[in-house]
Structure 1
């Protein structure tokens, strides 16, 4: 286990105010519509972030991500009986599968990193990866992708800014996707990605149910996607809850979590709180406070 001292997984730190980190979310360009969900980047070079401000928190998610890092060595943080433990990633380019629980990463220094996010079924078709082998894992991309993907991986590492990285993605992915899926198709907005993924998974489950028993169908869905269809539906409802809460908050409109829970399809507020903890690590009220105040929740602020 790595001996570097790191903060606890859920340690709090205020948002950095002395020259904000460069955090960006880019939707797919026209050529990558239907392929790329989003390109997300964070650049903290030259900023005096304290240890806890170098944490980044991520929700449970159905997306497959390809991440790369420049002048920074991040890794995952876990709280253990012996205290917080940090394990650096084994490569500057990592491929990760769908995640069934919220995660935290940390780095001993500031630096620059980015990640390209893909719907799971697109990643399966495009990269030829077995989704089941990636669930809840981060693996070196070069260990999973064959040598024909080296120009993509090398190009991303050599990209000096987000524009160059997007150009590499467009150059390396467009023709490959057309070869396996025909012309690019329209992609939902970031707010609709989860909902559209669940809809496609439900259609796939409907096709499978003609050939297998209900128990076998449930196992097949979990093997393919990492979760049951009901669990993915709960994730989408929770996303909808927080999108609605942010819209009301930014409009200056008072709201009740109990009322929002019912509007988004939860049986009651307690049910909503349980699912929120599973996806973000926190009940809605505490999550909302961290969303507003904590530096490590930068990704949530970009996505929502």
Structure 2
């Protein structure tokens, strides 16, 4: 099993300097059989003598995580959400999650992603057998990274999952939106896909539970967060233009709605 620091996705973790004092985040490559579906596993361990609030910018990935729900260990489906993602961490603990490739959780669910969009629901409520025993094993205080990942994948092995070839095309488009900063409009993704914007919107709604405009803008906001994390002076007006926002005020509104503060303010405090 390959384990490594979180790396590329670190711009999603807000106020990373403070976070590094309390939490350790690692990514683990899934087993070969799960790579068509799971982009990576993530493991967060924390030591917080006092309550620590951590915020993460949601990305266009469905996550299945082992966490406590009303004091009971559960495997939870975290649908793609527009809302800020905030957790208050106390004491010592850990959580394991699987970040599914953007369009690939539909094969697990067997239905359009709209039924979990913006929701956090127990996995067994939407598909598969009871998950509490697997979650309890994952959340054991002495569980190693290897044991946690093996337990989660073993539970997922019990589900009747058939790969959806159409998901690969959607995944490729989301990957392009993440990598290419020149992609700033949903129309560009539709052109890249060779379909109309309306068709692309229908495909994204079915496979992600959210539209292509949101996906493109979310990655550009992550680019803005990455700029804030460099600790160097940023020309926000120029960056807004580069990232496809109509002006600096447009970037400020979008960034503030996700992060809670304007980008310049966040950069000073991050």
TM-score (norm. length: structure 2): 0.68
Say if 2:75 and 2:131, in contact at 8 Å, map to a contact too: no
Whose RCO is larger (CA < 8 A, sep 6+)?
1
Deviation at 1:263, TM superposition (A): 1.6
1:59 aligns with 2:57: yes
Partner of 2:211: 228
Say if 2:240 and 2:246, in contact at 8 Å, map to a contact too: yes
SS at match of 1:180: coil
C-alpha distance in 2 between matches for 1:97 and 1:161:
26
Where does 1:1-304 land on structure 2 (aligned, <5 Å)?
15=18, 20-28=22-30, 31-44=33-46, 47-51=47-51, 53=52, 55-69=53-67, 73=68, 88=70, 91-107=73-89, 109-147=91-129, 156-157=138-139, 160-170=143-153, 179-181=162-164, 192=175, 195=178, 202=190, 206=195, 209=198, 222=205, 225-246=208-229, 249=230, 254-290=233-269, 292=270
C-alpha distance in 2 between matches for 1:285 and 1:266:
16
C-alpha distance in 2 between matches for 1:231 and 1:287:
22
| Post-superposition CA distance 1:252-280 (Å, at most 9, x none) | x5431222111222121111111112332
Deviation at 1:123, TM superposition (A): 0.5
Number of aligned residue pairs: give it. Answer: 245
Structure with the higher strand share, 1 or 2: 2
SS at match of 1:105: strand
Say if 1:64 and 1:123, in contact at 8 Å, map to a contact too: yes
Query: Which ranges of structure 2 fall in alignment gaps of 5 or more residues?
Result: 1-14, 180-185
Query: Which ranges of structure 1 fall in alignment gaps of 5 or more residues?
Result: 1-11, 75-87, 211-216, 293-304
Partner of 1:295: none
C-alpha distance in 1 between matches for 2:85 and 2:258:
9
What CA RMSD, in Å, does the superposition of the two structures yield over aligned residues?
A: 4.4
Say if 2:228 and 2:264, in contact at 8 Å, map to a contact too: no
TM-score (norm. length: structure 1): 0.62
C-alpha distance in 2 between matches for 1:148 and 1:90:
12
Say if 1:126 and 1:176, in contact at 8 Å, map to a contact too: yes
C-alpha distance in 1 between matches for 2:40 and 2:31:
9
